[in-house]
Amino acid sequence: MSNTSHRRRSPLFRADPVGKQAQEAGLEQSLYSESCPGQDGRRTAPLPQQRPCPAGLRTPGRGRQRPGRRGLPATAFSLGPEQDAASMSWDLLLSLLLACALAYLGVQLVRFVRADGDLTLMWAEWQGRRPEWELSDMVVWVTGASSGIGEELVYQLSKLGASLVLSSRRANELERVKNKCLEISNLKEKDILVLPLDLTDRSSHEAATKTVLQKFGQIDILVNNGGRSQRSLFVETNLDIYKEIMEINFLGTISLTKCVLPHMIERKQGKIVTVSSVMGITGAPLASGYSASKHALHVINLRSHCFEGQASSFEGFFNSLRSELTTYPEITVMVICPGPVQSNIVHNAFTEEISKKIENPGEQDYKMATSRCVRLMLVSMANDLKEAWISEQPYLSFCYIGQYTPTWAWLLIDKLGPRRIDNFKSALVWSCVFFSIVLQNNIKNLLVHKFYYSHSCLSPEINLAI
């Protein structure tokens, strides 16, 4: 008999339905026998009919046998050892990633609690460029250099080897600062220029700029540090105070910047550093004019209205100036926002009248050391940070609250404002301890108010304030 005739008579090639059903039954029996090994480890012979695999002969690790597709047992479609191992590997990897994320958040929380500057500034101090590398051999013009932050700034710059231009209204104090710079550094007489300057006399700024350029030939960094603060209630303050504050803190600063900027544009490089305040981020009682002058310099404050995503943006001068200088990438416009710092700014602050001085400015021990503040300023300058917040806790936290959740900031000010006014009138100090106690005692009320404002939009009082 030929192979062809045998293949034709073979049941595998028959087209009748009975043969086809027999083939399928034989396939199912073979799969069933393969999935149920015998007690001696060998495969059992095909059974005449389907029946459940005995309990003692179930495949280890496979669980209860359930009929699968078309009567097949579930073990025919379960994962093998390789797939199980891969699944366990992915679970372990996801667990490790989650643990790393939680650890990272924990580290950032600890850093924030211990920080005395915003997180970008702290990172720049840790991993960024060092002032000793970037600021040496530069010509730096510092206004308000006769005391406080400006005085400490020129001391540290002199140790870095920078050439200095010292400006303020008090020429005798500038000479004192110059002599100390010569004592603590390797600078010579030719490296320091004493240039008395009144920020309110805007007509003299152009001549002062030419004097600096004739002396050193260039201006690498302009530090707008000159200014005065305020401690008085608005209803009791003469309007001449507000005029003087804006003349010194705002108009005088932008006037000097306008005289120096063309030189930097010509050289296509330079740094304009403006010392503002945390009160330029969030206002505070007794300093309405001072806060207004600092807001005018730099602030960008986004205030959310309900959950519709509406926001109004108030852009200050130097943020607008920065956007106009995008074609000059080597010209950096920076804003430094110090918090409470040990200086004479309160001693020289305006009160209700121009001629009136503060009788008792209070203690300074709770404030940040001037040397630490200036060091962080130098780090900001070396790393070209556009804005830097320099303050210890809890004031640093208040800056973040005012910037990102202004409704909470208003509620805090409503709680702390009257206390600060009473303490000022009683010649006391609005200390960090007092701030922390009030914040802790009122946190639950703040959450309740936040929930209310979120669901009923802003209250009429806040809408009126906006």
CB atoms within 10 A of CB 234: 13
Backbone angles phi, psi at 333, to 5 degrees: -110, 120
Structure tokens at 133: 């590398």
Distance CA(382)–CA(128), nearest Å, equals 8
Helices (H), 309-405: 317-324, 370-382, 395-404
Which pairs with CB-CB distance under 8 Å and at least 24 residues apart come from 309-316? 312/466, 316/280
Residue corresponding to tokens 């009144």: 198
Q: Which two tokens stand for residue 13?
A: 């090639």
* Residues 219 and 139 sit within 8 Å (Cβ to Cβ): yes
DSSP state, residue 313: E
Helix, strand, coil distribution of the chain in percent, nearest 5: 55, 10, 35
Can you say whether residue 4 is alpha, beta or left, with left for phi > 0 and alpha for psi between -120 and 50 degrees?
Answer: alpha
Q: From CA 87, how far away is CA 262, in angstroms rounded? A: 65
Return the SS3 of 266: helix
309 alpha-carbon distance from chain centroid: 21
The two structure tokens encoding residue 330? 């080597």
Largest CA distance in the chain: 131
Computed from CA positions of residues 426, 429, 432, 433, in that sequence, does the dihedral angle turn out positive or negative?
A: negative
CA–CA separation, 257 and 225 (whole Å): 12
First to last CA, the chain: 104
Decide: 408 and 446 in contact? Cβ < 8 Å. Answer: yes
Rounded-to-integer distance, Cα 371 and Cα 425, Å = 30
Active site residues: 290
